[in-house]
Chains A and B, each alone.
Chain A
Amino acid sequence: MIFNSGDKKFLSDSVDEVISSYAKVMQVRRPGDLEAPAFSGSKKAALTVIGTYPIEVKILSPGSLNEKGADLVIQCGGQTDISENDCVDIDGSHFIVSHVNPHVFGGVTTHMEINLEKDVSYGS
């Protein structure tokens, strides 16, 4: 089957609709250039807010999470601007993106599965 632009929009819109129905969002922040060293000597990358996007949190067993090497697995729309090492905030918890797995159908990235690790720098 060959998909035209309308079909491709239907593909991504349909999956977006499913993910949005979970009514949960994440904020994505991206590390930029390293800031100048502070007096304490530590270096900290400035985080730029990329955007807030709807997500679906996958309910997985501890064994499955362990297998994926993730603390949390989420899914987001195919157009979401997110990449590895981005920082993700969900309900006040802070994570780092460890893996992005796009799902493609008909030449369209319908959605992405994201493995998240807890951001230990927040001490949580």
Chain B
Amino acid sequence: MQTADFIASLKLQIDDTGTSALLSADQYSSIITRSLGKVNGYLSTDYQIVDESMTPELDTNAFELLVVQSMVFLTEIMRAKVAKNFSFKSGDKSIDKTKQASVWADLHRDYLNRLHEILGAMVPHLNDSTFLKVKSYPSPEVFEVSGDL
């Protein structure tokens, strides 16, 4: 499979088809390289990128795993990218993209859980201790302080 075709399918998944790309070509390439390395680790395979093509041809399981692992990395990058978004008003234009970070964080968590499910089914010998299953991101504990302390 050509890496360009795989990138196109990733773009389709996150609707990155507009004129201004969410991620650069370098970032997409990095996602594929890292994800393929992870897939090789999970499945003990030896997939490589040679001349912009993934060889040998990925089977169904490897392809599914590569898609989900790529989405984990992709959503991770997007979380970092939008983390610094701020709201502002200029003239009559009021922009607020501050909620994007939590949306990408939710997606990231969903794909991590999906990755865990797939790995559980494909590679049964991997137990839960091997992978971190993220139920929710940690939030600060708030302790009530009683008056008699």
Binding site for B on A (CB under 8 A): 6-7, 10-11, 13-18, 20, 103-106, 110-111, 113
> In this complex, what residue of A is CB-closest to B93?
A15
B86, B91, B97: residue with the most chain A Cβ atoms closer than 10 Å? B91
Q: Which residues of A contact B93 (CB under 8 A)?
A: 15, 18, 103, 110-111
- Closest chain-B Cβ to A52's Cβ sits at a distance in Å of 13
Q: Is the pair A17, B88 in contact by a Cβ cutoff of 8 Å? A: no
How many A-B residue pairs lie within 8 Å, measured between CB atoms?
36
In-complex Cβ contact of B90 among A7, A15, A20 (8 A): A15
> In this complex, what residue of B is CB-closest to A110?
B90
Docked pose: A11 CA to B20 CA in angstroms = 14
Q: State how many residues of chain B have any CB contact under 8 Å with chain A.
A: 12
The 7 closest A-B pairs by CB, nearest first: A103-B91, A105-B90, A110-B90, A14-B95, A103-B90, A15-B93, A105-B88
Q: Which residues of B contact A103 (CB under 8 A)?
A: 90-91, 93
Docked pose: A18 CA to B91 CA in angstroms = 13
Q: Which residues of B contact A7 (CB under 8 A)?
A: 84, 86
